[in-house]
C-alpha cells in the first residue's frame, strides 16, 4: 500500500466500513431526486457533512432546490481543494423496462442498482466516506476541502452551477469532479481515446443555433398560393441540405483526445400561415460539438456564412439566425496537481495507472475551468456510458475503489 500511516488506516477503514458506504448510496438512490426534487438528497448529505466538521451553506434559487457548499477548514487554509458531484438525476424513462426498481437501490450480483448510482450519487457517497475514513485515521489537513453538491445539472445548471458561479459562492485552487470514467465493452468503439481507467481533463465546446426560415412570399396583390410557391418547409429543406453537407465535413475532423466533431439538427417547430397565402415559418436548431483542434469563432462564422450565402441565392426567403448558447472547449494541463495524485492513487488501489484523456462530448468541466478558472478533472470507477441508462448500476468493488482513490488524493493534496 502507501507508506503513510494515515493513508493506510484510511484504506483499512474503508474496507471495514464497506457496508456503510453501500447503505449511504442506497439512501441517496431511494431519495428520488429527478431534477426539481433534490431536497431529500440534500437532507441526507447535510448532516453527514456537519458531523465531519464541515461548515455548510446553502445557495438555492428556489427553496426546494438546494445548492450545498461545504468547507472543512484546514490549519493553514491553503491549498484549497474542490470535490464536486451533482444531486439531481434524469428520470427513469420506461420503468417497465427496468429489471429492478429504479429508485430501490437494490444490491444484487455485487452491484448497486438504481437511478443515480453512476451519475453522480455514487461519487457523493464516495466523497463523504473518503473524508470520514481520513478523519477516523487522524487526518488534520493543512489545506481547505470544499465539497459542492448542486441541483439542476441535468437541465443545464441554471438553478445550480450557473447560479453558484454567478454569485461566486466558492473558490478553490484545483478540483476533483466525482464521475464514473470507465467504458463498458459495448461502448468502446465510441470512446477510442479511453483506456481501462481514465482521468478526463478535456471536453468539447458547444454551439447551439436557432434558425427560422419563411415561405417564399407571394406577390403583394396575390394572397393565394401561386403554383409552385415554395413553402417554409421547402426552403428549410434547401438550407438543411447545405448545412448537412457541411456537417459531413465536420464529422471527419478528429481530435485524439475528444474524438470527431459533431453537428446535428433537432428542435423543429412549424408555424402555419394564419391566413392562406401569408408567409409561414419553420424553425430548427443546429447543435455543434467542437473538438480541441477547431476554433470557436471560425466555426460560428462558418455557419452564419453558409446561411448568408443561401439567402443571397434565395432572396425571397427570409432567414433569421441566432446563437442560443456557446461554450468553449475545455482542456486542463496534465501538470495540474490532481492528475499526478490520481495516477499514484489509482496505481496503488487498482494496480493500473489512470490515463489522462478527454471526453467526446460537452461536460460540466467548463463551468469550473473556463468560468471559475479552477483546474478540475473527472475521475471515478464505474461506467460513464451507464449514465441515463435503463438498469443503471455500479459495482460495489468500483464504488469502494473510488472511495479509496478519493481518500488518497485528498490526503496527498491538502495534507
Q: How far is CA 222 from CA 112, 214, 231, 278, in A?
A: 67, 17, 15, 10
| Residue ranges per structural domain of the chain | 5-203+330-414, 205-327
Beta strands of 254-396 (E only): which ranges? 254-255, 259-260, 262-271, 281-290, 319-327, 330-331, 355-359, 376-379, 393-395
In the predicted model, what is the mean pLDDT of residues 389-407?
Answer: 98
Q: CB–CB of 142/41 below 8 Å?
A: no
Q: In sequence order, what are the residues at sequence separation of 6 or more whose Cβ sits closer than 8 angstroms to the Cβ of residue 46? A: 56, 68
Q: Which pLDDT belongs to residue 2?
A: 46
3-class DSSP assignment, residue 110: coil
Residues 287-327 pLDDT 10s: 999 999 999 999 999 999 999 999 999 888 889 999 999 99
Residues 251-276 pLDDT 10s: 999 999 999 999 999 999 987 766 55
* pLDDT at residue 278 tops 80: no
CA distance linking residue 310 with residue 239, whole number of Å: 7
In the predicted model, what is the mean pLDDT of residues 68-97?
Answer: 97
In percent, the amount of the chain with pLDDT more than 90 equals 87
Nearest to 87 by CA among 144, 16, 157: 157
Q: Which pLDDT belongs to residue 231?
A: 80
Q: Which pLDDT belongs to residue 110?
A: 98
Q: CB–CB of 368/374 below 8 Å?
A: yes
Residues 2-15 pLDDT 10s: 469 999 999 999 99
Cβ burial 203-213 (10 Å sphere, 16+ → b, else e): bbbbbebbbbb
* pLDDT at residue 396 tops 50: yes
In the predicted model, what is the mean pLDDT of residues 371-378?
Answer: 96
Tell me which residue has cell 431529500.
Answer: 40
Q: CB–CB of 209/322 below 8 Å?
A: yes
Q: In sequence order, what are the residues at sequence separation of 6 or more whose Cβ sits closer than 8 angstroms to the Cβ of residue 8? A: 1, 2
* pLDDT at residue 229 tops 80: no
In the predicted model, what is the mean pLDDT of residues 53-71?
Answer: 96
Q: Which pLDDT belongs to residue 272?
A: 73
Residues 179-208 pLDDT 10s: 999 999 999 998 999 999 999 999 999 999
* pLDDT at residue 1 tops 50: no
CA distance linking residue 90 with residue 44, whole number of Å: 19
In whole numbers, what is the pLDDT of the chain averaged over residues? 93
Other Cβ atoms closer than 10 A to 29: 27
* pLDDT at residue 226 tops 70: no
Q: Which three cell numbers stand for residue 53?
A: 466538521
**pLDDT band at residue 91 using 50, 70 and 90 as cut-offs:** very high
Task: Please check whether the domain covering 205-327 is classified as CATH 3.30.70.360.
Answer: yes
* pLDDT at residue 23 tops 70: yes
3-class DSSP assignment, residue 372: coil
CA distance linking residue 128 with residue 115, whole number of Å: 19
CA distance linking residue 303 with residue 282, whole number of Å: 18
Q: How far is CA 317 from CA 159, 267, 274, 301, 313, in A?
A: 39, 21, 18, 21, 9
Q: Which three cell numbers stand for residue 24?
A: 449511504
Task: Please check whether the domain covering 5-203+330-414 is classified as CATH 3.40.50.300.
Answer: no
Q: Which pLDDT belongs to residue 217?
A: 61
**pLDDT band at residue 140 using 50, 70 and 90 as cut-offs:** very high
In the predicted model, what is the mean pLDDT of residues 164-184?
Answer: 97
* pLDDT at residue 223 tops 80: no
* pLDDT at residue 211 tops 60: yes
Partnered with residue 173 across adjacent β-strands are none
* pLDDT at residue 219 tops 70: no
User: Which pTM value belongs to this model?
Assistant: 0.92
Amino acid at each position: 500500500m502507501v507508506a503513510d500511516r494515515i493513508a493506510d488506516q484510511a484504506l483499512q477503514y474503508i474496507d471495514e466500513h464497506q457496508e456503510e458506504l453501500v447503505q449511504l448510496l442506497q439512501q441517496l438512490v431511494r431519495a428520488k431526486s429527478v431534477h426539481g426534487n433534490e431536497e431529500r438528497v440534500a437532507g441526507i448529505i447535510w448532516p453527514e457533512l456537519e458531523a465531519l466538521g464541515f461548515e455548510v451553506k446553502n445557495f438555492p434559487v428556489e427553496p426546494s432546490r438546494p445548492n450545498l457548499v461545504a468547507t472543512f477548514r484546514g490549519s493553514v487554509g491553503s491549498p484549497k481543494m474542490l470535490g464536486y458531484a451533482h444531486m439531481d438525476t434524469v428520470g427513469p424513462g420506461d420503468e417497465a423496462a427496468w429489471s429492478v426498481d429504479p429508485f430501490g437501490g437494490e444490491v444484487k450480483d455485487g452491484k448497486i442498482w438504481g437511478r443515480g448510482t453512476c451519475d453522480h450519487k455514487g461519487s457523493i457517497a464516495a466523497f463523504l466516506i473518503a473524508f470520514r475514513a481520513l478523519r477516523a485515521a487522524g487526518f488534520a489537513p493543512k489545506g481547505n476541502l470544499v465539497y459542492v453538491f448542486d441541483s439542476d445539472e441535468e437541465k443545464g445548471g441554471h438553478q445550480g452551477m450557473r447560479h453558484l458561479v454567478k454569485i461566486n459562492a466558492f473558490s478553490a485552487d484545483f478540483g476533483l469532479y466525482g464521475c464514473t470514467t470507465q467504458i463498458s465493452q459495448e461502448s468502446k468503439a465510441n470512446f477510442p481515446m479511453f483506456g481501462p481507467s481514465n482521468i478526463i481533463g478535456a471536453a468539447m465546446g458547444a454551439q447551439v443555433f436557432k434558425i427560422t426560415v419563411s415561405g417564399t412570399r407571394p406577390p403583394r396583390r396575390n394572397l393565394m398560393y401561386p403554383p409552385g410557391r415554395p413553402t417554409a418547409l421547402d426552403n428549410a429543406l434547401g438550407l438543411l441540405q447545405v448545412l448537412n453537407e457541411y456537417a459531413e465535413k465536420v464529422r471527419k475532423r478528429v481530435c485524439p483526445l475528444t474524438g470527431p466533431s459533431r453537428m446535428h439538427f433537432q428542435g423543429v417547430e412549424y408555424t402555419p400561415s394564419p391566413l392562406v397565402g401569408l408567409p409561414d415559418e419553420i424553425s430548427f436548431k443546429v447543435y455543434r460539438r467542437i473538438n480541441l483542434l477547431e476554433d470557436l469563432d471560425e466555426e460560428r462564422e462558418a455557419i452564419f456564412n453558409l446561411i448568408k450565402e443561401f439567402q443571397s441565392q434565395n432572396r425571397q426567403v427570409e432567414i433569421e439566425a441566432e446563437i442560443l448558447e456557446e461554450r468553449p472547449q475545455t482542456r486542463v494541463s496534465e501538470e495540474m496537481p490532481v492528475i499526478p495524485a490520481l495516477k499514484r492513487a489509482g496505481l496503488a488501489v487498482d494496480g493500473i495507472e489512470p490515463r489522462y484523456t478527454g471526453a467526446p462530448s460537452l461536460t460540466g468541466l467548463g463551468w469550473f475551468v473556463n468560468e471559475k478558472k479552477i483546474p478540475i478533472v473527472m475521475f471515478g470507477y464505474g461506467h460513464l456510458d451507464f449514465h441515463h441508462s435503463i438498469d443503471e448500476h455500479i459495482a460495489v468493488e468500483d464504488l469502494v475503489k473510488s472511495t479509496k482513490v478519493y481518500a488518497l488524493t485528498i490526503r496527498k493534496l491538502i495534507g
